[in-house]
A and B are shown apart, each in its own frame.
Chain A
Amino acid sequence: MIKKSKLFIISLIIAAMINLIHINIFNTDLTPDFILLTLIFWFFKNPNAVSISTFWLIGLITDIFMGDLLGQNALTYASCYFIAQYFISKIMLNNKHQKLLYIFLIFLSAQIIILIINLTHDLHYPGLSYFLQSITAVFIWHAFSKFKFFKLDR
């Protein structure tokens, strides 16, 4: 258990560092939120090990170090946990491609929540290309799911 929690923290630190590297293509930031990707992976790997407050707390820490408004990532991550919990049985029992659709939906909802938060305090709409992040997140999930460790048991 201790080993797993160490792995959990190390994976989050690596995700945070990847978040700082940017891949700017066609003026669009295609890099998805790797911290959220890691959290959701751990949630599906072992749903009892992470709780909604873990998601919220990690969101808050992300806000403190990298966010623009304190609490926006915390709210997004907590909501994502709720959505993921809602989808969990469907994700576990469906085939690979249907699984990816649910992952896409979770990321899309995360992006919509952040978009709503930003629009409420008078910022602009970044255009449709903003949602490409969800698609890259699905591709990354798909690429990693080929490795044995990242496979979710059915």
Chain B
Amino acid sequence: MIKSYQRPSKLFNKGPSLLSKLLLLIFISIVLMGADYRFHYLKNIRQITNVFTKPFHTLLNTPSDIYNFTTEYFSNQSRLIHENEILKLNIDSLKADLQRLDFIDQENNQLKNLLEVKNAHKFKTEAVSIIYSRFDPFNQKIIINGGQNKDFQAGQPVINALGLVGQISSVFPETSEVTLIVDKKMSVPIQIQRNGLRAITNGNGQNETISLSYLPNSVDVIIGDVLKTSGIDTIYPEGIAVAEVLEINNNPTLPFAKIICKPISAIRNHTHVLVVTPINKIANNVAPIKNDQKK
């Protein structure tokens, strides 16, 4: 009896051989990959396919959503009352801080006006939930709930309560893709809080760390230094915490110091993020996608 796994006899097999089929398919795949790498047409296809995949994501998130909802619903009432009291106290102290901050902000603007220094751009934030993170060890990306329907544009920074999370890289009808600061392709202009030194961070892609690029071995950086966005690029608002210096390797044989930092915003631990929008919608520094469409 001929078993199903045995190969068919070569005598009657008149089609092309498996190897030639494989080579043809590899060739087509390489052409597709090359064309996609050059022209990015998969992004346009995604605009359509994302509409179909979103209900699946919502469906898959339902069990965890129900779990979160029920655990919250049935949580101890006294604990909630206690938590509420603490939060109220926190709000009071934050309000007091905010008043002081408003005053300082106003004073700062007045001083800047006196000195004829350009005022920093104003930004507003919008809270969105994280739908899922991409299944891909080569890219550090998350998908957030909100896209063209909320007027998001590629290039907008994404933050959370602790600090910078990343930047919107693609916008779809109802979702957006956020590239995290730890992604290999991601760079952020920063300033060291202690001494005001300006530098650029680059994502390492692995181990959830970022590194500081192009700083000489003699640079004044110590472990524990806090890096904040410098605001020079006008994309990221000024003064958002980015990372903390974790490790410094000064190798005299290399031209630059190797400085490894840990992102302050625990990027994997949150379910909500804030998308930062410039108030006066400076169209020049964001939105390559919409500009392309207009052209």
- Quick check: B5 and A121 within 8 Å, CB to CB? no
Q: Give residues of chain A (87-110) contacting chain B, Cβ–Cβ below 8 Å.
A: 88-89, 92
The stretch among B103-111, B131-139, B285-293 that forms the contact with chain A is: B131-139
- Quick check: B137 and A65 within 8 Å, CB to CB? no
Q: How many residues of A contact B (CB 8 A)?
A: 48
- Candidates B33, B133, B208; contact of A71 at CB < 8 Å: B33
* Complex CA distance for A47 and B6, rounded to whole angstroms: 9
Check if B41 is an interface residue, CB within 8 A of chain A.
Answer: yes
- Quick check: B37 and A121 within 8 Å, CB to CB? yes
Check if B21 is an interface residue, CB within 8 A of chain A.
Answer: yes
Residues of B within 8 A of A (CB): 3-7, 18-19, 21-22, 25-26, 28-33, 35-37, 41-42, 45, 49, 52-53, 56-57, 60, 132-133, 135-139, 184, 204-208, 268
- Quick check: B207 and A27 within 8 Å, CB to CB? yes
A85-B18 contact, Cβ under 8 Å, with A71-B29, A124-B206: yes
Which residues of A lie under 8 Å from residue B33 when comparing CB positions?
69-72, 75, 117
Which residues of A lie under 8 Å from residue B6 when comparing CB positions?
89
- Candidates B36, B42, B137; contact of A29 at CB < 8 Å: B137
Q: How many A-B residue pairs lie within 8 Å, measured between CB atoms?
A: 118
Check if A82 is an interface residue, CB within 8 A of chain B.
Answer: yes
**What secondary structure prevails in chain A residues at the interface with B?**
helix
* Complex CA distance for A71 and B7, rounded to whole angstroms: 28
- Produce 1/0 per residue, A112-146, CB < 8 A to B: 00000110010111110010000000000000000
Q: Report which residue of B18, B25, B26 has the largest number of chain A beta carbons within 10 angstroms of its beta carbon.
A: B25
Which residues of B lie under 8 Å from residue A85 when comparing CB positions?
18
Q: Give residues of chain A (41-76) contacting chain B, Cβ–Cβ below 8 Å.
A: 44, 46-48, 52-53, 56, 60, 63-72, 74-75
* Complex CA distance for A8 and B45, rounded to whole angstroms: 26
* Complex CA distance for A120 and B267, rounded to whole angstroms: 28
Which residues of A lie under 8 Å from residue B60 when comparing CB positions?
17, 20-21
Check if A38 is an interface residue, CB within 8 A of chain B.
Answer: no
CB distance from B205 to the nearest CB of A (A): 4
